[in-house]
Amino acid sequence: MKRDKSEALFEEAVLRIPGGVNSPVRAFNAVGGQPLFLKKAKGSKITDVDGNRFIDYVLSWGPMILGHAHPKVIAAVQKAAASGTSFGAPTPLEITLAERVQHKFPSMERVRFVNSGTEATMSAIRLARGFTKRDKIIKFEGCYHGHADSLLVKAGSGAMTLGVPDSAGIPADLARDTVTLPFNNLSAVKKTLEAIGDQVACIIIEPVPGNMGTIIPKEGYLSGLRELTKSFDVLLIFDEVMSGFRVAPGGAQERYGIQPDLTCLGKIIGGGLPVGAFGGRLEIMNHIAPLGPVYQAGTLSGNPLAMAAGIETLALLETHRLYEKLEAKGASLEEGMRDAAKRAKVPVQINRVGSQMTLFFNRSEVKDYASAAKSSRKRFASFHRTLLELGVYFAPSPFEALFLSTAHSPGDIDKTIAVVYEALKNI
């Protein structure tokens, strides 16, 4: 595989951009080597600047569920752009996208658009604190909610209820208000709420985590959280930035039949443009400015390009029973990879929910961060190198999800399974 042009660009990029990348996971640190610079993408394929083509399972980290450069989405964006790219004033497109989102997420009685998932979770947490007049929040180990200060916090080693910064630059005083608990463990939540429930504004969770690799919520776990939060008057926030319109049209809340108080969205609802959204119960959302005392704003929020891409994407997703097909493609890729691992005699765990899954190099069940972290990083790095050589692009980290799009063909999946077998055999 030729890499001359990518390597030359990386040398230039590091002189201008920290680490050569604008988001750290792009840097290939977890697998060794340097990132490929991409030139174009169409459907299920991406092409780098050296002309190498790959079947893409990153899909811009989730958004491109219709495949890259879908002609109708591109046409919608072009049409919107020709009428002006941003006004900082209301447009009809915002109402249309809100309607489409609410159609699948009826728990979002009001929805506000922002520009990223990070903004959505940051704003939802401020709202939860403003509404409940409490400061503490609970989140779960291995869940990622973007990079707002209150959320880049990990569990402290001493008292279970004191968080410590998970990044430099985060005030310890702020981190103390974030409690981090293990995922899939209801009794940890119960114990914490019994101890400090009256100080807790909200629990924020990825209902189907994808940011420590895909984890499947245990039977009764999400409904248990719903009951516990209700009994302690704590708000339940589903961060469905990844799972929304992915694990089901109505996200994990549809798939598992749970009504959270607030929901955060992003990724797919922007159709590949920068978007986030948060919304929920009317009574809570009425606390947001200009109606209420919780401030939140954005110069480019709801801009016509992003709204147009989102509207077209969500409209297309309602056609041709696409979610059934995504589920079937997901199942066939999972089965094929399982069988390949068996033939290659490499122990793996595959967690899948719909068209999102993760292959862990792990002998035991992966159900939370602690078990995911036991997976072999070395094996993954070797696996990833062979996949790239043979034309398959997985996320360059063992703790990410892979995604399928409606553009992935049975031929893509067959080729991927064959390549996965080669890569496993080579480990």
d(CA 2, CA 182): 43
- How do strand 38-42 and strand 45-48 relate by DSSP bridges? antiparallel
For tokens 């009317």, name the residue.
282
Is residue 177 within 8 A of residue 136, CB to CB? The reply is yes
Taking the least distance from each CB to ligand PLP, the nearer of 36 and 269 is 269
- Report 377-396 residues binding ligand PLP (CB under 6 A): none
Among 128, 241, 311, 337, binds ligand PLP (CB under 6 A): 241
412 counts as binding ligand PLP under rule CB under 6 A: no
State CA 351 to chain mean position distance: 15
How far is CA 216 from each of CA 44, 241, 328, 368, 376, rounded to the nearest angstrom? 26, 16, 18, 9, 20
The residue from 45, 104, 139, 144 that is catalytic is: 144
Stretch that binds ligand PLP, among 1-9, 138-146, 224-232, 282-290 (CB under 6 A): 138-146
d(CA 256, CA 82): 41
Looking at this protein, which amino acid is placed at residue 356?
Q
Is residue 21 within 8 A of residue 373, CB to CB? The reply is no
Q: Which has the closest alpha carbon to 3: 45, 34, 44, 42?
A: 34
Burial class of residue 291, CB neighbours in 10 A (0-12, 13-18, 19+):
exposed
Taking the least distance from each CB to ligand PLP, the nearer of 61 and 421 is 61
Is residue 218 within 8 A of residue 191, CB to CB? The reply is no
The residue from 104, 267, 329, 367 that is catalytic is: 267
Taking the least distance from each CB to ligand PLP, the nearer of 34 and 211 is 211
β-partners of residue 349 are 360
117 counts as binding ligand PLP under rule CB under 6 A: yes
Is 414 labeled as catalytic in the residue annotation?
A: no
d(CA 21, CA 13): 7
Taking the least distance from each CB to ligand PLP, the nearer of 255 and 379 is 255
Among 94, 206, 312, 368, binds ligand PLP (CB under 6 A): 206
Is 393 labeled as catalytic in the residue annotation?
A: no
Q: Is 333 helix (H, G, I), strand (E, B) or coil?
A: helix
Stretch that binds ligand PLP, among 75-83, 219-227, 236-244, 321-329 (CB under 6 A): 236-244
Q: Which residue is nearest to ligand PLP (CB)?
A: 117
Q: Which has the closest alpha carbon to 211: 279, 136, 151?
A: 151
Pull the structure tokens for residue 104: 């699948």
Stretch that binds ligand PLP, among 67-75, 93-101, 114-122, 255-263 (CB under 6 A): 114-122
Q: Which has the closest alpha carbon to 420: 361, 327, 363, 341?
A: 341
Q: Is 20 left (phi over 0), alpha (psi -120 to 50) or beta?
A: left
Among 48, 94, 177, 239, binds ligand PLP (CB under 6 A): 239
145 counts as binding ligand PLP under rule CB under 6 A: yes
State phi, psi for 380 to the nearest 5 degrees: -65, -40
The residue from 48, 56, 239, 412 that is catalytic is: 239
d(CA 412, CA 388): 14
Taking the least distance from each CB to ligand PLP, the nearer of 37 and 140 is 140
Smallest separation, CB 276 to ligand PLP (Å):
6
Taking the least distance from each CB to ligand PLP, the nearer of 65 and 413 is 65
Burial class of residue 59, CB neighbours in 10 A (0-12, 13-18, 19+):
buried
> Quick one: DSSP state of residue 294?
B
144 counts as binding ligand PLP under rule CB under 6 A: yes
Stretch that binds ligand PLP, among 36-44, 102-110, 144-152, 362-370 (CB under 6 A): 144-152
Taking the least distance from each CB to ligand PLP, the nearer of 204 and 348 is 204
Give the total of residues touching ligand PLP (CB under 6 A): 15
294 counts as binding ligand PLP under rule CB under 6 A: no
Among 44, 107, 121, 397, binds ligand PLP (CB under 6 A): 121
Smallest separation, CB 121 to ligand PLP (Å):
6
Is residue 141 within 8 A of residue 179, CB to CB? The reply is no
Is 239 labeled as catalytic in the residue annotation?
A: yes
Taking the least distance from each CB to ligand PLP, the nearer of 241 and 341 is 241
Smallest separation, CB 124 to ligand PLP (Å):
11
Smallest separation, CB 340 to ligand PLP (Å):
27
Taking the least distance from each CB to ligand PLP, the nearer of 117 and 250 is 117
For tokens 């991406």, name the residue.
46
- Report 248-267 residues binding ligand PLP (CB under 6 A): 266
Provide the annotated active-site residues: 144, 239, 267
Binding residues vs ligand PLP (CB under 6 A): 116-118, 121, 144-146, 206, 210-211, 239, 241-242, 266, 276
